[in-house]
Amino acid sequence: MKKDIIEKYGCDFTNNIVSDEVLDLASEKIGILFGNELKEYIKSYGYLGIGAVEFYGLNSKQNLDSDLVKQTLYLHQYFPFTKNYIAIANIEDSIYLLIDSDDNIYECDLVLKKINNKNIKFNDYVIKRLSDEY
């Protein structure tokens, strides 16, 4: 994901980037390997947010207590059908955006217990979502 595109939209991100060791610990704690696009995103931005759009991430102040880890573990505990995915955003009530180890994006409806493949990779989804919203 190119920094100039993120800057174009004026997204918030953190300067408190996690180390590779923390990234590996988070992957181990969640029990899912992070894809290359997700790793690059976390190492470049930590998280992204603008207005009502926020993508979870990791930062060095919260480390394993960051939203990406906490929300993923919550979903795995209470909604076991999500165990092969990482939570990347909460789109609206009971609807989460998930990512797999290959950086594919899915939309998960917790009420219907249904996961739909969005047929888009993480970087492309972020850019599309930002351009659709802003």
The predicted structure's pLDDT at residue 5: 67
The number of distinct structural domains making up the chain is 1
What is the helix (H) or strand (E) element at residue 71, kind and residue range?
helix 67-78
For the beta carbon of residue 44, count every other beta carbon within 10 angstroms. Answer: 15
d(CA 117, CA 57): 21
The predicted structure's pLDDT at residue 65: 85
**Tokens, residue 50:** 């603008």
Contact in structure between 113 and 75 (CB atoms under 8 Å): no
**Tokens, residue 106:** 């899915």
Range of the domain at 40: 3-133
Bridge partners, residue 99, by sequence = 86, 105
The predicted structure's pLDDT at residue 49: 87
**Tokens, residue 57:** 């991430």
Residue 52, domain CATH? 3.40.1580.10
For 126, which DSSP code?
A: H
The 3-class secondary structure across 15-61, one letter per residue, is CCCCCHHHHHHHHHHHCCCCCHHHHHHHHHCCCEEECCEEECCCCCC
**Tokens, residue 68:** 């990406």
The predicted structure's pLDDT at residue 38: 97
The predicted structure's pLDDT at residue 134: 55
- Return the SS3 of 9: helix
For the chain, 134 residues long, give each residue's pLDDT as a single digit of tens.
666 667 777 888 888 889 999 999 999 999 999 999 999 999 999 989 888 888 999 998 888 889 999 999 999 999 999 999 999 999 998 999 999 999 999 999 999 999 999 999 999 999 888 877 65
